[in-house]
């Protein structure tokens, strides 16, 4: 395999533990529509809220007929109130600092407009050369559009990129895009298994 020349990160579950924030956000929308909240132990729906793009979440939770109205309600809801519930993954900031000194870094996330606010809140904006969200492409993950767009913006061929993700959506997108996949704290089939951000830093910076 060719050497890695750039790294793309997923957001939720990779850069941040954000399940509590995501559930609070989607439950705020469900309340508007008079629906019961998604409980943390509702594994299927909670996982959906953690990984899928908002149109798919609302389609499943509220039905096709209310999806557009839910997206409008979400647009009017200030996500910044949920950001403090997000917890940075251990060692993430130090790893980004080291990796960004050697590689161009990007984000590819099924989040929409909240991503830039999150990076600003945690002081991470300077580490990423490109940020691609579900708003930038026709189709979110598991489709490859987002990763292909990130590779285009980085001016790198897909086979020179590593994508760090934690879900089957991430893995499927990487495979379809022809990009190597690193599974973060997950036993998914992958080109690389990563248990911590420190490990990633050691593999690509400290160990070279």
Average pLDDT over residues 103-118: 94
Q: What is the pLDDT of residue 73?
A: 95
pLDDT band with cut points at 50, 70 and 90 for residue 113:
confident
pTM: 0.91
Helix H, strand E, coil C: the string for 119-176 is HHHCCCHHHCCEEECHHHCCCCCCCCHHHHHHHHHHCCCHHHEEEEECCHHHHHHHHH
Contact predicate 40/50, CB 8 Å: no
Q: Which fold has domain 6-17+86-206?
A: Rossmann fold (3.40.50)
Contact predicate 199/188, CB 8 Å: no
In the chain, where the domains are located: 6-17+86-206, 19-83
Q: How far is CA 3 from CA 103, 160, 180, 189, in A?
A: 11, 6, 11, 20
112 versus 14: the higher-pLDDT residue is: 14
Q: What is the pLDDT of residue 206?
A: 66
Task: Please check the confidence at residue 1 and state whether its pLDDT lies above 50.
Answer: no
Average pLDDT over residues 145-168: 97
């Amino acid at each position: 395999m060719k050497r890695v020349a750039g790294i793309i990160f997923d957001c939720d579950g990779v850069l941040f533990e954000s399940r509590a924030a995501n559930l609070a956000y989607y439950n705020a929308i469900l309340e508007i529509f008079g629906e019961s909240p998604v409980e943390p132990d509702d594994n299927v729906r909670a996982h959906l809220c953690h990984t899928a793009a908002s149109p798919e979440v609302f389609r499943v939770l509220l039905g096709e007929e209310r999806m557009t109205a839910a997206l409008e309600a979400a647009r009017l809801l200030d996500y910044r109130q949920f950001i403090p519930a997000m917890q940075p993954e251990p060692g993430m900031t130090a790893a980004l600092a080291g990796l960004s000194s050697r590689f161009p870094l990007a984000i590819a996330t099924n989040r929409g407009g909240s991503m830039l606010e999150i990076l600003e809140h945690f002081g991470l904006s300077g580490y990423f050369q490109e940020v691609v969200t579900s708003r930038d492409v026709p189709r979110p993950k598991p489709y490859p559009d987002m990763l292909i767009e990130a590779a285009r913006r980085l001016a790198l061929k897909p086979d020179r990129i590593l994508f760090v993700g934690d879900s089957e959506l991430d893995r499927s997108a990487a495979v379809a895009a022809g990009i190597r996949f690193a599974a973060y704290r997950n036993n998914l089939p992958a080109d690389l298994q990563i248990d911590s951000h420190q490990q990633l830093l050691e593999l690509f910076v400290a160990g070279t």
